[in-house]
Amino acid sequence: KAGVTQTPRYLIKTRGQQVTLSCSPISGHRSVSWYQQTPGQGLQFLFEYFSETQRNKGNFPGRFSGRQFSNSRSEMNVSTLELGDSALYLCASSLDGGQPQHFGDGTRLSIL
Amino acid sequence: AQSVTQLGSHVSVSEGALVLLRCNYSSSVPPYLFWYVQYPNQGLQLLLKYTTGATLVKGINGFEAEFKKSETSFHLTKPSAHMSDAAEYFCAVSPSGTGRRALTFGSGTRLQVQP
């Protein structure tokens, strides 16, 4: 069974640009959550999508948004990039939003 | 609100020695508790979880953890460290029995294993 797949693995952007990250969950999983990992703030919850609806949201500005498609694949978008957005973005999927969550290998975003 | 405290950002042990990584949590309701491991350039892998039932939980790779409600702790142990255990370990909590299942993570403990 394929795991959670995140693309791309690495991204380099400049300040002010926007970026879209993609996550394909484990087959049959309907919940996708996104987390940001930085050396300073650690692992922080961004949001969760279930059946194409945002069900839960962390404490991040509106520049961070996401969506989920009917096949449960999810995308995360960050607009007007700032240097502080440099991080490893992790996606996790689960059957229904409960536990356990299965993580992908992440997308490492670097802002120049 | 929930929070997790991991004591010791870095722990160094000799190969074959006991591994003990400490985790304390704060939660107003009984939580679910987890330990994850992260190897360089990889995501998080679930080691073990506690939801209900037996308080001593066995996980993968020989790790186990014990939920102690009176101490609000969920320390991770392994009797004998192996070089391949060198990684970063995260303790996490989530609410039980509610729709909000987001994980709250501790700051992580980097385990170094000396030959």
- A58-89: pLDDT as tens digits: 999 999 999 999 999 999 999 999 999 999 99
Q: From A50, which residue of chain B is nearest by alpha-carbon distance? A: B99
CB–CB contact B51 A55 (8 Å)? no
* CA–CA separation, B28 and B31 (whole Å): 8
Q: Which residues of chain B have pLDDT under 70?
A: 97-100
Q: What is the mean pLDDT of chain A?
A: 94
Name the minimum distance, in Å, from the CA of B96 to any CA of chain A: 9
* CA–CA separation, B69 and A12 (whole Å): 45
The neighbouring-strand residues paired with A56 are A48
pLDDT, tens digit (0-9, with 9 covering 90-100), for A40-62: 999 999 999 999 999 889 999 99
Which DSSP string do the residues of A17-76 spell out, in sequence order?
Answer: --EEEEEEPPTT--EEEEEEEETTTEEEEEEEEETTEEEEE-S--TTEEEEE-TTS-EEE
Residue B100 has what pLDDT? 59
Residue of A42, A98, A106 lying closest to B43 (CB–CB): A106
Name the minimum distance, in Å, from the CA of B15 to any CA of chain A: 27
H helices of chain B, in order, are none
Name the minimum distance, in Å, from the CA of B44 to any CA of chain A: 6
